Structure 1
Amino acid sequence: MITRLATTCLRHRRRVLAAWAVVVVLGLALSPGLFDRLSSEAGSVDGTESDRASQLLRAADPQGPEVVAVLDDVPATSPATRAAVERLGSRVAAIEGVEEVLTPWTGLPAGAGPHAEAVGVDGRAVAVSVRVEPTETGWEALDEVESVLRAADAPTVLVGGETLMDSEMDEQAAADLARAELISLPVLLVLLLVLFGGVVAAGLPLVVAATGIAGTLGTLTLLSLVTDVSVYAVNIVTMLGLGLAVDYALLVVSRFREERAAGLDLETAVVATMATAGRTVAFSAATVSAALASLLVFPDDFLRSMGLACLAVVVLDVVAALTLLPALLGVAGHRVRPAPPSRHDRGAFVRLSRLVTRRPLAIALVSAALLAVAAVPFAGARFSEPDERSLPASSESRAVAELASAQFPDSLAEQVTVVAQEEWSEAELAGYVRRLQELPGVADVQPADAPHLTAVRLVPEAGGDEAARAAGIVDAVRSMEAPTPVLVTGDAAELDDYREAIVSRLPWALLVLVLATFVLLYAFTGSVVVPLKALVMNTLSLGATFGALVWVFQEGHLGALVGTEALGSLSITTPVLVFAIAFGLSMDYEVFLLGRIAEEWRATGDNDRAVVVGLQATGRIVTAAALLMVVVFGAFVAGGFSPVKQVGFGLALAVAVDATVVRMLLVPAVMTLMGRANWWSPSWLARPRVAAPAPCPGSAAPAGRARP
């Protein structure tokens, strides 16, 4: 099938190139409107208890977005400050669409002191809060409100709030994407020039990558018309699409150069390349897709949309590799230099293979121990929703939140809200409030205004770990009896509900991933042992990656190298995304290595020789592909958006660990120890009817032996 496809693309190469040019133009034409439709929502599940409570409160008392201004370095008790702030409040209140303006003196008579909660702890800051109507007019008023607040008469004026923070996150995502492309594409070009020694050969992977980026943006734009697409998706999906495009193109172009070096004419070399490297690319895309399909099991719209977007990009990249690349090679392949002669009895990977086969037990134990130790920090992992710390230190929204946290700590306490769908009597409410006040960690309990409902807000005690204290209060409230059934919401409740929803679906996601991976690898090798070993190896590799994420981002070690501080937690969606994507990517290198080992095993029946030849033949291409992937993912670490930075760091590290410690040391060492047992399959299990894996790029036979 792949051979026929390659032949067709060669025969109609100009039509194929024209079709992909249309894809690029459409993708770029659609993309300008993408960022306007992105959602900053992540880490929430519809229909949970906290979600139902929030919906009840919004229905009972609809509220529009809020903008907060902090006027710093002003004497809060000065009559001049009060006069200036009241004039500011009057100007804002006069804007059409503004519903409420709260200042430190709202509702107080002349001469009265300001409300304490709206005055900074040092008496040198005041807060002004503006809420607009929950209507189109209210939303349209936001820009004018922001402009008037910024013109306040104070030495320092910072304007922020949740709505402006969401907007800034969108802008940061777009800026990070542009920066990552600016960093990664030139570096990729230089590396490809070093690998291939020619501009045309180096440029072909970049053409496929650029096509993939344009197609990715167009795909996300189309998806945003039918479902919510997160602001994180643009960066994460683009880094995946760019990495895979370069990876697949590298394999195909490398094999094409080998076929040309063997004396084949251009068209025959293209067809032979696609029959071998093309089959490997197709199988690799299938394994990556199987891992990404596990994201569709989760109830979170963000994870499901991310899974759909990533699957679409994998399909786009593999189709480009199987159709666009043959057409490009048909047009420009005569300008691609054939691969230079290579010796398979010398070099770093020859020495490495000899070391592994001489000391397999020691290497396996040391490698596994290193990965296990690296995974230890993940045992203390904590998770949270993205907050102002997700933005860079230069962000105004972050500055507002941090200044407000320092100056107005009581107003920002993490509250727990309890909602009942019935109106309780005064006696019932008073009794329930007394019992809530007795709970450990509760500083205050305040009835909330919610027409036709009963709502109570609990404020945790200040100091220490307020998030953990709020989580404990949520658990305690949910286990208490109430006059009628209640629902609990708030940040802590939402986080607890989200974690429970993810954990409940995790076994199903793992089942999808494990079964799909097992079936694909069995079809590829004919062994039931090799797929089981691959699953164990991937688990060790990912464990080390998760441990490093905790050590760097949660605990802050080496944070200066990646531009982060000790955040105290990871973004709640990071482990799931990194696990699904990195698991699929690690199978790339598993396929490259196992394909060559299995081929040699079928030819000779000598397991030790198969391991040595496989490691020697694929070492260079796996290392080169991993290096290019690390460049792509690492470029996103240079951005300022912490959740994407975490995913980029995790994927770059996972690829690096997998291509070095796992594929170069642990896998060959374990396969050497297991000997012929690697290839065992029960007699009752039907042998796969899939064609034997073809040699991977770089898999020329050792000196003195003809390549099959």
Structure 2
Amino acid sequence: MPLAKHRTPTADPALPTPGREAAYGLLGRLGAWSAAHLRLVAVLWLALVAGLGAFAPQVTSALAGAGWQANGSESVHVRELAQQHFGGNASSALQVVVSSDRPVADPAVQQVLTDATARLKADSRIADVVPPQPGATISPDGRTAILLAGAGADANDMVRAADDLKGPLADLSHDGITVAATGASVLWSDFNTANHDAMMKSEMLSWPVTLAILVLAFGSLVAAGLPLLLTMAGLAASAGALVLLNHLTPTSIWAMNFAMMFALALGIDYALFLVVRFRAALAKHGDARRAVAETMDTAGKAVALSGATVLVSLSAVTLVPSPAFRSMAVGIMLAVVFVLAATLTLLPAVLGKLGRRVNAGSLPWTRGKTAGPSPRFTAWGERLWAHPLRYGIPALAILVALAAPVIGLRTSMPSITVVPEDSSARVGYTAVQQAFGPGAPGALQIVTPTAQAAPTAAALAGDPGIAGVMPGQNAPDGSGYTLLQAVPKVDPSDPALEGTVERLRDTLPDEALVGGAAVENLDLQSLLDSKTPLVMGVILALGFVLLIVALQAPLVALLGTVTSLLATAAAFGAARLIFQDGHGAGLLGFTPQGFLDGWAPVFFFAMIFAIAMDYTVFLLAAAKEQYELTGDARKATVGALAHSGRVIFAAAAVMVAVFFTFALSGPLPPKEMGIVLGLAVLLDAALVRLVLLPVLLRLTGRAAWWSPAWLRRVLPDVRFSHD
């Protein structure tokens, strides 16, 4: 019987050989593994998306609508005391305004009040319903009355109660009798609804533009679809995760809105960077899985670092002790984590399977072109190297000129004008002002020990900023508290109210606490003003540290951080000119408030800096890779633009298109957000990453990449090059 011939196993030519694969770093090996196990990776992602995505449809109804408060503040303490001891007569209570051309005593008006009371009492979230009181909640002309529906649940559930009740209450209007729910909970209900609808509309408008830019950037229909794969996976997973997170801690509905935006933006950025690099590696090696491994070992590191930078920037926002801010930051971070995970596992698996088919559906003018450095951006890099001051000085001058107005930037919490004129909160607000005076919608609530009620009431009545004081209400539960309500002389959004509140807190008896919805806004603004320098400092410091770790060079890390800060300052300076001073307000279709919304400095700074550092990482990682390969500062700078300039340009074009569509939104906050972020990306990409930062690399030369020996010893060895 003949012996069987011994056959030497042959390696799969599509896989990197063991020796070659061992030469790759962790991300390179992860990419090679993902490319070799597409089925397993796809099953795991399908399970994750299906498991979390099952909760996604609940996201708009489950997430919280309130949370815009300064935890631990005096005003929040007043709200808690009022809810606990005074039948829910807190700032989160609903006010149902019934106005007509007839006296309140008219039988038709009384019937409407009876029907409204019945609807309120039928809701378990409503505590005591207080009928209109002469001299307090019945207007002097006797034609407007206010039903007070006490808060029987927390602030978030009261916003949900407003969602459910404002429509049925408005339906009671007839024959010249108008019924409108108002108050802080209704305001947040209308605010969230208007802004959510506007953001959804803007997202839909941005998709066609985004797809067109992606097709042009990638040059093929298949490659252009890859960012959508990452975006959909990240969105479905993060939406479901937010619903689950909401069971642990109230999570703002705005977390989902921002998560959607960042998932789209980062999914496009990361896919662009990796696919462009994959095509170049594929053209060089002709081997899909080897190209994946090399791509992940080089560009994959830049993407991982970029994701870490975004997460670090957003994590600093959690230093602000406000539920809305913390949950919005966590929501975006969840989206970033899922998109980053999909980029580092699912995308390389798909690329390994596609191979050369990634170019399927190529546009006619791209066929036959080889992947690799961009000739146009190579030429641009050479021009900047030859004439750095010619281009660097004008770019710097524009950025400084735009940043200068930031010195006079003012911020405040938004007024009632941020909700539509026909919204329930605004209709009721206007009716209350017309019937009771300009300060009536912002009545102050003062909780004091009963023993100090008389001197507290006297001090309130004698204050020049107070128009009237309502009779005190002793707590029915015998807790020894008295609730006083004082009507200011000015509108709740008038800056003079802040002076009144500060004066009262200084002059009232020590144990008297001042609160109310308008005061909660003032306390939140004060908190934001105090925390903004800390948040910005932490973001800058952590961003600088991450760049040092990645680039191993202090000077280039400093250049990257400072230029990102300059681009951010320029965006805020432009925001002041537009939204505070009103330049271009007519063209953009809004009425300036005379200030930027209070959350903008903290939240927008984190978002803008995260995006700016995203592009910084892409550019400097490419520059470091070229410097590692050549040791030549010129080749590093020109090569960085040649390899990453097209990606930065295309990614920025998509982001600008997405953000600027928010300028078409009706409500002011999405418009403000879209324009500020869009300008930030435009300035950062066009003037900083593609001009100023390469010029600074040219002027500093080899010194930019110098690192002291002691620093190299303590830092991990991070390399972006691959032979």
Q: TM-score range by the shorter chain?
A: 0.7 to 0.9
Give the Cα separation in 2 of the matches to 1:418 and 1:342: 69
Structure 2 partner of 1:366: 394
Partner SS for 2:359: coil
After superposing the two structures, state which structure 1 stretch, 610-619 or 636-645, moved more.
636-645
Indicate yes or no: 2:569 matched with 1:552.
no
Selected match of 1:216 from 223, 228, 238:
238
Indicate yes or no: 2:553 matched with 1:524.
no
Partner SS for 2:321: coil
- TM-score normalised to structure 1 length: 0.86
Structure 1 partner of 2:406: 378
Selected match of 1:318 from 333, 340, 347:
340
Mapping for residues 3-22 of structure 1, pairs under 5 Å: 3-22=28-47
Indicate yes or no: 2:695 matched with 1:669.
yes
Partner SS for 1:151: coil
| Compared CA separation, residues 184 and 581, structure 1 to 2 (3 A) | same
Q: Which letter does structure 2 place at the counterpart of 1:31?
A: A
Structure 1 partner of 2:16: none
Give the Cα separation in 2 of the matches to 1:529 and 1:142: 54
Mapping for residues 500-579 of structure 1, pairs under 5 Å: 500-579=526-605
Measured after TM superposition, the shift of residue 343 of structure 1 is 8.8
Structure 2 partner of 1:111: none
Mapping for residues 482-493 of structure 1, pairs under 5 Å: 482-493=508-519
Selected match of 2:113 from 77, 89, 93:
89
Q: Which letter does structure 2 place at the counterpart of 1:528?
A: P
Structure 2 partner of 1:38: 63
Give the Cα separation in 2 of the matches to 1:425 and 1:638: 51
Contact kept in structure 2, 1:173 and 1:235, CA below 8 Å: no
Q: Which letter does structure 2 place at the counterpart of 1:525?
A: L
Q: Which letter does structure 2 place at the counterpart of 1:212?
A: G
| Compared CA separation, residues 289 and 27, structure 1 to 2 (3 A) | same
Measured after TM superposition, the shift of residue 383 of structure 1 is 3.0
Mapping for residues 120-269 of structure 1, pairs under 5 Å: 126-132=143-149, 134-135=151-152, 147=168, 149-155=170-176, 157=178, 159-162=180-183, 163-269=185-291
Give the Cα separation in 1 of the matches to 2:370 and 2:112: 77
Give the Cα separation in 2 of the matches to 1:583 and 1:94: 51
* Superposed CA offset, 1:548-605 (max 9, x none): 2233333433235544321233332222111112211111111111122223333444
Structure 2 partner of 1:686: 712
Q: Which letter does structure 2 place at the counterpart of 1:43?
A: W
Contact kept in structure 2, 1:607 and 1:672, CA below 8 Å: yes
Give the Cα separation in 1 of the matches to 2:329 and 2:393: 35
* Superposed CA offset, 1:669-692 (max 9, x none): 222223333223334323533232
Structure 2 partner of 1:701: none
| Compared CA separation, residues 271 and 456, structure 1 to 2 (3 A) | same
| Compared CA separation, residues 25 and 127, structure 1 to 2 (3 A) | farther
Partner SS for 2:101: coil
Structure 1 partner of 2:613: 587
Mapping for residues 627-706 of structure 1, pairs under 5 Å: 627-687=653-713, 688-694=715-721
| Compared CA separation, residues 396 and 560, structure 1 to 2 (3 A) | farther
* Superposed CA offset, 1:522-563 (max 9, x none): 122221111222222122111111222233333433235544
Q: Which letter does structure 2 place at the counterpart of 1:152?
A: S
Q: Which letter does structure 2 place at the counterpart of 1:324?
A: L
Partner SS for 2:180: strand
Partner SS for 1:225: helix
| Compared CA separation, residues 448 and 555, structure 1 to 2 (3 A) | farther
* Superposed CA offset, 1:358-410 (max 9, x none): 44345444333322322344333333334543334554443443454456534
Q: Which letter does structure 1 place at the counterpart of 2:147?
A: V
Q: Which letter does structure 2 place at the counterpart of 1:39?
A: A
Q: Which letter does structure 1 place at the counterpart of 2:56?
A: S
Contact kept in structure 1, 2:82 and 2:88, CA below 8 Å: no
Contact kept in structure 2, 1:577 and 1:647, CA below 8 Å: no
Indicate yes or no: 2:458 matched with 1:443.
no
Measured after TM superposition, the shift of residue 628 of structure 1 is 1.6
Identity %: 31
Structure 2 partner of 1:424: 452
Contact kept in structure 2, 1:193 and 1:202, CA below 8 Å: yes
Contact kept in structure 2, 1:76 and 1:82, CA below 8 Å: yes
Contact kept in structure 2, 1:378 and 1:547, CA below 8 Å: yes
Partner SS for 2:442: coil
Give the Cα separation in 2 of the matches to 1:372 and 1:268: 46
Give the Cα separation in 2 of the matches to 1:419 and 1:373: 49
Measured after TM superposition, the shift of residue 317 of structure 1 is 0.8
Q: Which letter does structure 1 place at the counterpart of 2:417?
A: R
| Compared CA separation, residues 459 and 605, structure 1 to 2 (3 A) | same
Contact kept in structure 1, 2:413 and 2:525, CA below 8 Å: no
Measured after TM superposition, the shift of residue 324 of structure 1 is 0.8
After superposing the two structures, state which structure 1 stretch, 654-663 or 338-347, moved more.
338-347
Structure 2 partner of 1:705: none
Measured after TM superposition, the shift of residue 224 of structure 1 is 0.8
Tell me the matched-pair count: 672
Measured after TM superposition, the shift of residue 38 of structure 1 is 2.1
Structure 2 partner of 1:409: 437
Give the Cα separation in 1 of the matches to 2:323 and 2:221: 43
Give the Cα separation in 2 of the matches to 1:613 and 1:146: 61
> Structure 2: 5+ residue runs without aligned partners?
1-25, 123-127, 361-365
Indicate yes or no: 2:350 matched with 1:333.
no
Structure 2 partner of 1:620: 646
* Superposed CA offset, 1:611-644 (max 9, x none): 2332333221110111122233334444445434
* Superposed CA offset, 1:246-268 (max 9, x none): 11111111122222222512222
| Compared CA separation, residues 635 and 447, structure 1 to 2 (3 A) | same
| Compared CA separation, residues 383 and 43, structure 1 to 2 (3 A) | farther
| Compared CA separation, residues 62 and 372, structure 1 to 2 (3 A) | farther
| Compared CA separation, residues 518 and 177, structure 1 to 2 (3 A) | same
Q: Which letter does structure 2 place at the counterpart of 1:82?
A: D
Measured after TM superposition, the shift of residue 342 of structure 1 is 6.7
Measured after TM superposition, the shift of residue 498 of structure 1 is 2.5
| Compared CA separation, residues 154 and 630, structure 1 to 2 (3 A) | same
Contact kept in structure 2, 1:598 and 1:693, CA below 8 Å: yes
Contact kept in structure 1, 2:88 and 2:151, CA below 8 Å: yes
Q: Which letter does structure 2 place at the counterpart of 1:690?
A: D
Measured after TM superposition, the shift of residue 66 of structure 1 is 2.1
| Compared CA separation, residues 145 and 651, structure 1 to 2 (3 A) | closer
* Superposed CA offset, 1:253-301 (max 9, x none): 1122222222512222222222222222111111111111212222222
Mapping for residues 602-617 of structure 1, pairs under 5 Å: 602-617=628-643
Measured after TM superposition, the shift of residue 308 of structure 1 is 2.1
Give the Cα separation in 2 of the matches to 1:457 and 1:402: 20
Partner SS for 1:567: coil
Indicate yes or no: 2:499 matched with 1:472.
yes
Indicate yes or no: 2:481 matched with 1:453.
yes
Q: Which letter does structure 1 place at the counterpart of 2:550?
A: F
Structure 1 partner of 2:17: none
Contact kept in structure 2, 1:50 and 1:488, CA below 8 Å: yes
Q: Which letter does structure 1 place at the counterpart of 2:168?
A: S
- TM-score normalised to structure 2 length: 0.84
